[in-house]
Amino acid sequence: MSIDRAAGGFDGRSGPLTGVRIVEFAGIGPGPFAAMLLADMGADVIRIDRPGGADPYSRHVVCRSRPSVTADLKAAPDRDEVLALLDHADALIEGFRPGVMERLGLGPDAVLARNPRLAYGRMTGWGQTGPLAETAGHDISYIAVTGALAAIGAPEAPTVPLNLVGDYGGGALYLALGLLAAVIQARETGRGQVVDAAICDGAASLMAMFCDLRAQGRWADRRGANLLDGGAPFYRTFRCADGEHVAIGPLEPRFFGELCDRLDLAGEEVVRRDDPAVWPALQARLEAAFLTRSREEWCAMFEGSDACLAPVLTLGEAPAHPHLTARRTYTVVDGVAQPSPAPRFSLTSAAIQPPRPQIDSLADAVSAWTDGAAEEQAQFAASEARGPG
């Protein structure tokens, strides 16, 4: 028997991670984003802020679903309270340079000696080891050395893909996955471990399919020359009559045929569309075709088709898209439109968690988790006494 996670934990939180406790040491970029994902799924996350050290990039959205408390990690009393909080945690997230947590007395050896079941998550760009481990960098630095940046953009120069490929794709998602794997392992064995999540490692991992294609001789180390990098004219964007753009991606011949039928395109370059030799001619015909109507007209014309055409929307336009509206992909909280939690679960729904009372001190944070643990134990004992059903 266990607490009914579908109904929420003792503090009203809901989601598949209800009951998992995580201490997040505030940072910027992938660490807070990973913490947001886990908190949205019901994990009880407490963020430790440094005095005057609020994240300038994350306010209304990335820091949602969890409270924060301020601590001076260089002061012994605050550090002792943090260690006491970690005694009750399942996982930890930190994003300092290698060695910083050790110098603060909060490194893995010190923390795991007190709480051997802890999953200790370390989020960095270069990782804990290697010749660049001690040096500074940002998303663009890490994806530059993995081949990811070189593969994205027009032939004349790489294009920076926001910080999605490195910070969030190769960083936050791998950190969250690694922490959950370590928590599962700890619950099976009683032994925690360090999760060394390096953005350079994760970004390289994201390139797995392209490494495979290159090994098969089906990927050239040139931008705009391949199937998925804008080289193929049937997988790219096109300007419309109103200056807006549509994206097409009919990779399968049947879907491409539907696109051409609706555009009234025929000819040798259509028949030989998989031959790169005809791509310039096919691209020119598609460019001319899409310039004849507005983005809205093209979307209306292709609505319900399998031609894989979609409007290229701005961040301001996206929440109003009919499909995203129907799925409630975006949520408005306090007037701020933001992405709803993802992925979705059939039983234990993830949600932007309700606001928690402000935590005024580390002692209050420790008490909250200590009292919560006692209440969960009481619920568990009561459920055991009731028996099955």
Q: How many whole angstroms separate alpha carbon 180 and alpha carbon 197?
A: 13
| All residues at 6 or more sequence positions from 298 whose CB lies less than 8 Å from its CB, including other chains | 240, 246, 290, 309, 311
Among the listed residues 40, 44, 167, 201, the single catalytic one is 167
Closest C-alpha among 192, 26, 30 to residue 124: 30
| Coil, strand or helix at 331 | strand
- Cα dihedral 123, 125, 131, 137 in deg (nearest 10): -140
Q: How many whole angstroms separate alpha carbon 38 and alpha carbon 276?
A: 44
Q: How many whole angstroms separate alpha carbon 77 and alpha carbon 364?
A: 14
Phi, psi of 212 (to 5 degrees): -65, -45
Exposure class string for 235-262: b at 16+ Cβ within 10 A, else e: bbebebeeebbbebbbeeeebbbbbbee
Q: Contact 35/24 with Cβ under 8 angstroms?
A: yes
Q: Contact 118/93 with Cβ under 8 angstroms?
A: no
Closest C-alpha among 204, 208, 210, 82 to residue 143: 204
Measured over the CA atoms of residue 286, residue 289, residue 295 and residue 296, the dihedral's sign is: negative
What is the Cα gyration radius of the chain? 25
Among the listed residues 138, 196, 245, 306, the single catalytic one is 138
* Residues facing 157 on adjacent strands: 154
Please indicate whether residue 139 is annotated as part of the active site: no
CB atoms within 10 A of CB 101: 21
Phi, psi of 69 (to 5 degrees): -145, 145
Please indicate whether residue 11 is annotated as part of the active site: no
Pairing mode, if any, of strands 336-339 and 330-333?
antiparallel
The catalytic residues are 138, 167
